[in-house]
């Protein structure tokens, strides 16, 4: 196992941006403290080549102007909040509208835009980077002071371990996730439509035309949301042409680590399995990508997919959804695991 640290750039105030590279097992994983972002992930294929399977940017400027949230840690609340507002304990809180009339990923000043405190360390059979962030009451419109601690690690067993923790001094909605875009064929190598996906979800969160939940939890059986058996991402695109940007309800008990997704890329043989403690996973197929990425490569529509483990979108406004409210007596403590293998 190995940890390397180097300077990645400077902010306008002179603060240093760091880049960490973790090596363990057959994988090399890089992260930066701007947005607590995943920047690269080299994974072997069945023919012995190792390719970077994360969409991202070659330099720090890309992460400072990261409109599609490539690889970043999202908070205080991941996903959409209807009307950019919510009411908690009788008080209405106004957020910034940055997705039509709605709030997406906490708005233009979310955790993904900030410089986190960071420290690399070795523990048990893995190497890790711990990121810390403290935000004041009223930050992005949310109530209360918050301290977030997020650690990402790489183990000898070819697993990325993600731990998300937060403390607040008054009740506040919290949902943290990482917004990594994967292409298991290798970043910049075409689209992900032939990837084969299985989701451990019998239901999904129904949404309106603006991707805001209607409040209904709907069975996936037999429809274009049915990934209970592994199938190509584009299997139903003749009916559902845009792609997926939907929250799936992870089967099993929230709070317990359980499988939520499997993805296989048939040419390379790369296989990824995802586990989470959270209630849902947002499956997004890069429907609006159109940017320049690493080494000048163009990332177009469907160049990558996301599996964002999180609370359901608009949970602060949906009393029937699992509660996302963190209190001084109840900390936020969630986990995700991404394991990698090669399968024929």
Residues belonging to the active site: 179, 308
**Cα(78)–Cα(330) distance, integer angstroms:** 19
- Alpha carbons within 13 angstroms on the beta-carbon side of residue 288 total 5
Backbone angles phi, psi at 22, to 5 degrees: -105, 135
The DSSP annotation for 67-121 comes to TT-TT-EE-SB-SEEGGGEEEETTEEEE----BTTBEETT-TTSGGGSBPEEEEE
63, containing H or E segment: helix 60-64
Q: Is 314 left (phi over 0), alpha (psi -120 to 50) or beta?
A: left
Closest CA to 339 of 157, 153, 151, 123: 157
Handedness of CA 154, 178, 308, 75 (dihedral sign): positive
Q: Could you give the dihedral angle defined by the CA atoms of residues 166, 159, 257 and 103, in that order, rounded to the nearest 10 degrees?
A: 50
**Cα(252)–Cα(206) distance, integer angstroms:** 19
What are the residues whose beta carbons fall under 8 Å from the beta carbon of 296, sequence distance 6 or more?
none
């Amino acid at each position: 196992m190995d940890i390397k640290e180097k300077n990645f750039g400077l902010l306008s105030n002179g603060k240093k941006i760091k880049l960490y590279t973790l090596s363990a097992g057959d994988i090399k994983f890089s992260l930066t403290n701007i947005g607590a972002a995943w920047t690269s992930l080299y994974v072997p294929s069945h023919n012995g080549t190792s390719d970077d399977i994360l969409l991202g940017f070659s330099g720090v400027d890309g992460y400072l102007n990261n409109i599609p949230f490539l690889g970043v840690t999202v908070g205080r609340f991941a996903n959409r909040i209807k009307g950019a507002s919510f009411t908690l304990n009788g008080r209405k809180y106004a957020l910034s509208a940055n997705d039509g009339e709605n709030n997406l990923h906490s708005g233009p000043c979310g955790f993904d835009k900030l410089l986190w405190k960071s420290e690399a360390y070795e523990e048990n059979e893995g190497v890790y980077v711990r990121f810390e962030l403290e935000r004041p009451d009223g930050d992005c419109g949310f109530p209360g002071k918050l301290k977030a601690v997020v650690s990402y690690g790489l183990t000898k067993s070819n697993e990325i371990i993600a731990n998300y923790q937060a403390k607040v001094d008054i009740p506040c909605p919290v949902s943290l996730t990482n917004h990594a875009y994967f292409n298991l064929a290798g970043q910049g190598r075409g689209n992900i439509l032939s990837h084969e996906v299985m989701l451990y979800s019998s239901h999904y969160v129904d949404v309106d035309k603006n991707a805001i939940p209607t409040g209904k939890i709907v069975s996936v059986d037999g429809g274009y949301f049915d990934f209970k058996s592994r199938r190509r991402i584009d299997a139903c695109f003749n009916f559902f042409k845009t792609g997926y940007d939907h929250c799936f309800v992870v089967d099993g008990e929230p709070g317990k680590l359980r499988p939520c997704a499997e993805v296989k890329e048939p040419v390379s043989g790369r296989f990824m399995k995802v586990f989470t403690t959270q209630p849902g996973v947002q499956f997004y197929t890069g429907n609006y990508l159109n940017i320049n990425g690493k080494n000048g490569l163009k990332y177009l529509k469907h160049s990558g997919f996301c599996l964002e483990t999180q609370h359901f979108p608009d949970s602060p406004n949906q009393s029937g959804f699992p509660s996302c409210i963190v209190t001084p007596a109840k900390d936020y403590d969630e986990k995700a695991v991404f394991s990698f293998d090669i399968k024929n």
